[in-house]
Each structure stands twice: as structure tokens, then as C-alpha cells.
Structure 1
């Protein structure tokens, strides 16, 4: 059986691709994912599934996952928006993957950014470690760091806001 994190990674990959439907079968277990277009709020339905999600409201793309060992399990997961504006000039820098958040390149190094740091779109703001790979995350927005929303060593989800940036 695939682990929850592996299923989440598959959902992320399918969501980012042009594939509309994906099926995976292994040792009598089956995972089937389909994309749907929604105009209203995305809903999460869990039936004996260990996947926990908190989808944001008013999403457009949704991946549907069905896991069929003996009893059917069904989960619908909304894809997070690429960037969401808060307030007038505050933008969120979101995690592009599931993993562990790090403020600095090593425990004894200075953090990449602090509250008040000026950044450009290509500035490295943190590292997210996923499956023993350390991925440098770029801001993709220019401005000033107003708030750091996660703690060093904290697990982060795909699309989870990491920083608030005043543009």
C-alpha cells in the first residue's frame, strides 16, 4: 500500500500535469485519480482514508482519488492556488511541495530571510526537504518579508503559505 505522503505527491504531480485521469494498480490495490472542474467550494470526503486535507475555498481544479483494496476508500483533494493576495499589498509565498521547512542551509548558518528582509523574485527564502532532497525555494515575488508563517523544522504541505511579503 502506498503511504499517505506518496499519495499526496502523486496528487500533486497529476494536478500539475495535463493528465485528466490516472490509475495505479499493485498487489490487488488500485488508486484512481481524476481531475474535475468546480465552480463552488471544494469539499473533502473521507471514508476510511488516512489522508487529511483542508482545502481552501473556491478552487478550480480538483483531483479525485479512489483507493480500492477490499473496502472502497474515496478522497477528493482541492489543488491550492499558485499565489493568493491577502490585504492590499501582501502576497503569500507558498510551499511548492510537501516536506520539512528550514530557515537556513544548516543549523549554524544565518536564516535566508528575516522579518524586514528585502527580497526579489529570484531570492532564496528557505529550503524544503522532501525525500532527502534539499530544495531551495525562491520567493517568486519582490518586496519585504512581513511575517514568517512556519517554524524551522516544521512539516509543510503543498500550497501552504510560508511567508507574507509586502509588495
Structure 2
């Protein structure tokens, strides 16, 4: 039977650890089915994004800094999604780009992890990286500037 709370908690943990939305276990004449809804992500066209996680002060500074950079002729590379920013494929690897790196359009500049999937982010223009606006391992928002390029 499934009257043991520990077994139910173990099933819930298994779901969370593996990103499952539904699990069913049948033993003898007893069965249990657990189901959960996926958290909804709200994406906005503007800089404001509604999300259940706490808002950090750093992204706000990066956005205002990137706005000033736009006026100075620098090109921002922005995050196309919400996730965690990484400079390299793994901790032992060299970063994809550093300040001073020359990039071409479609050059991989970083990775953003979203829902346990690592997504390569490409430069949208050619230029030289003049500033990194986020740190390795930092959470990033949709449309948040990550790098500034000098054309």
C-alpha cells in the first residue's frame, strides 16, 4: 500500500529530479498516480518579465548599461530565453569568448541552460567583445543583454 508518506515523498522527489510531470506506480492491487503542472513562463516583449524567482539588482544595471551602450554605437548580444548563463561548455573548458575576442555572425558566444537543456547562443552581428554584462552561472532574463560588441 501507499500509506507510507516516505514512499510518496520519494516519488515526488523522483519527479522533481528528472523533470517529470506525471508518474504512476502499480503494486499488487494498489496504485498511485502523481501529476503536476509545469510552471508557466511569461515572456514579455519589453524588458519587464514576470517570474516566480527573486529579482536581482545586477540585471537592471546591465539593462541600463546596455541602453547607454546602444547610444554609443555598441551592439548588445541579448539572451533569447530565461535560464542560467555559462561562458563555456563545461568548467574545464576555455570560455567561448572573452573581452577582446573577435566574433563573426553566428559565432557561439555562450550557453544558456533552460530546463536542463543547454542552448548555444550565437552572435547576431560581427564585432569585438568589449564588455561581458553577466557572470558565469548567473541567472538571466529574456532579452537581457549578455555582451556588448564594437562593430
Class of the TM-score when normalised by the shorter of the 2 chains: 0.5 to 0.7
How many angstroms apart in 2 are the aligned matches of 1:102 and 1:86? Answer: 24
Taking the TM superposition and a 5 Å limit, the aligned residue runs for 1:132-143 are 132-143=116-127
Q: Normalising by structure 1, report the TM-score.
A: 0.54
More strand by share: 1
Q: 1:152 to 1:42 in 2, by over 3 A?
A: closer
Residue equivalent to 1:127: 111
In the alignment, is residue 7 of structure 1 matched against residue 40 of structure 2?
yes
Aligned CA-pair RMSD: 3.4
The structure where helix makes up a greater share of residues is 2
Give 1:31-42 correspondences, 5 Å limit. Answer: none
Q: Which runs of 4+ in 1 moved over 3 A?
A: 41-44, 49-54
Counterpart in the other structure of 2:81: 97
Gap runs ≥5 in structure 1: 17-40, 57-82
Separation in structure 2 between the aligned mates of residue 117 and residue 87 of structure 1, nearest angstrom? 22
- Gap runs ≥5 in structure 2: 1-35, 61-65
**Which protein is bigger by CA-based radius of gyration?**
2
CA change 1:139–1:109 in 2 (3 A) is same
Structure with higher RCO (Cα < 8 A, 6+ apart): 2
**Partner Cα distance (1:163, 1:118) in 2:** 12
- Are residue 86 (structure 1) and residue 70 (structure 2) matched? yes
Shift, 1:2, TM fit: 5.7
Report matched runs for 1:12-91 at 5 Å: 12=43, 50=52, 86-91=70-75
**Whole-Å Cα distance in 1 between the matches of residues 136 and 110 of structure 2?**
10
**1:87 offset after TM fit, Å?**
2.6
2:150 matches 1:117: no
* Alignment equivalent of 2:144, drawn from 160, 163, 167: 160
Q: 1:147: how far off?
A: 0.2
